[in-house]
Amino acid sequence: MTTPETPKPSRPAGGFASKQQTEALRRIEATLDAASQALPVRLYHPADDAPAEVVAHFSYAPEGEDWSAFGDVTRGSQGLVISRLEITPGATSSGVTGGLLRKVPIGEVLAAVRLNAAWETARREGTRAILGEEPAKGLFGESDEKAPRRGGRAPITSDLLRQVATAYLEETAPGTPAGAMKRMAERFGRPEETLRTWVTRARKDGWLGPGAKGRAGAEPGPRLVLYRIEQEGPAGRLKQADADPGQ
């Protein structure tokens, strides 16, 4: 991941530079200086299961304090905003208290995020202006460094989506009462909103077929059908036929 500690770019060799190149270099230096003086907030490329509108995750652990903060950065109509914030007290802390909440410098954290974003923009635009080539991927681009998972968030794996699809088919089968998402939330020990996200992802990834607008329920998706056939042989085909009597 690119960080404010990255060395400043050298000026064009030979002392000759266009006005556009000189201005680009000035912007890089100015935004880098500003970002370097902000809070030491780390930025990460969004995790695979992050909502589409999240442009980065951030973490902040103040020196000498027994707590840390982690959250999401979203780009909205007013620019970059902190859309999610988690506070983790340290082992010697008495937990998340009002005093601890007041210690979190939300405004300074957001300012640091915005300064880093401004520096990244200047770096990318400046690389094109000075070198005439596309810049290396940096702060908000693809990166091998992923945000650490926090808050007990479960990774969305194929196995999880298969389980979610199977549970959804069971909970929305003909004759079952309303409240399928509530029952699924109880089964998986997660909020209903999380289960709705997982069901949507299961449809997208082919574990569930499309549902009727405004109605709960679905048919097995092609991946679930194939899984049942591979794992259960002829019995899997029978289950599919029962689930979709029109075939």
**Which tokens belong to 88?**
């983790």
Domain-by-domain residue ranges, the chain? Answer: 13-131, 158-243
How many angstroms separate the CA atoms of 245 and 237, rounded? 12
Confidence of residue 72 (pLDDT cuts 50, 70, 90): confident
How many angstroms separate the CA atoms of 7 and 59, rounded? 23
**If one looks up domain 158-243 in CATH, what number appears?**
1.10.10
pLDDT at 135: 63
How many angstroms separate the CA atoms of 113 and 120, rounded? 11
Reported as a single tens digit per residue, the pLDDT across 164-217 is 999 999 998 888 888 888 998 888 888 888 888 888 888 888 888 876 555 666
Confidence of residue 219 (pLDDT cuts 50, 70, 90): confident
pLDDT at 62: 84
Amino acid at 246: G
| 215 and 207 Cβ atoms separated by less than 8 Å | no
237 or 63: which carries more pLDDT confidence? 63
- Kindly provide the b/e burial profile for residues 112-140, where b requires at least 16 CB atoms within 10 angstroms of the residue's own CB: bbbbbbbbbbbbbebbebbeeeebeebbb
pLDDT at 167: 92
| 225 and 184 Cβ atoms separated by less than 8 Å | no
Find how far residue 60's CA is from the centre of its chain.
17
**Which tokens belong to 198?**
């997982």
15 or 122: which carries more pLDDT confidence? 122
61 or 244: which carries more pLDDT confidence? 61
- Strands 54-60 and 67-76, by their bridges, are antiparallel
| 57 and 70 Cβ atoms separated by less than 8 Å | yes
Mean pLDDT on 151-166: 74
Q: Please give the share of the chain, as a percent, with pLDDT higher than 70.
A: 72
pLDDT at 170: 92
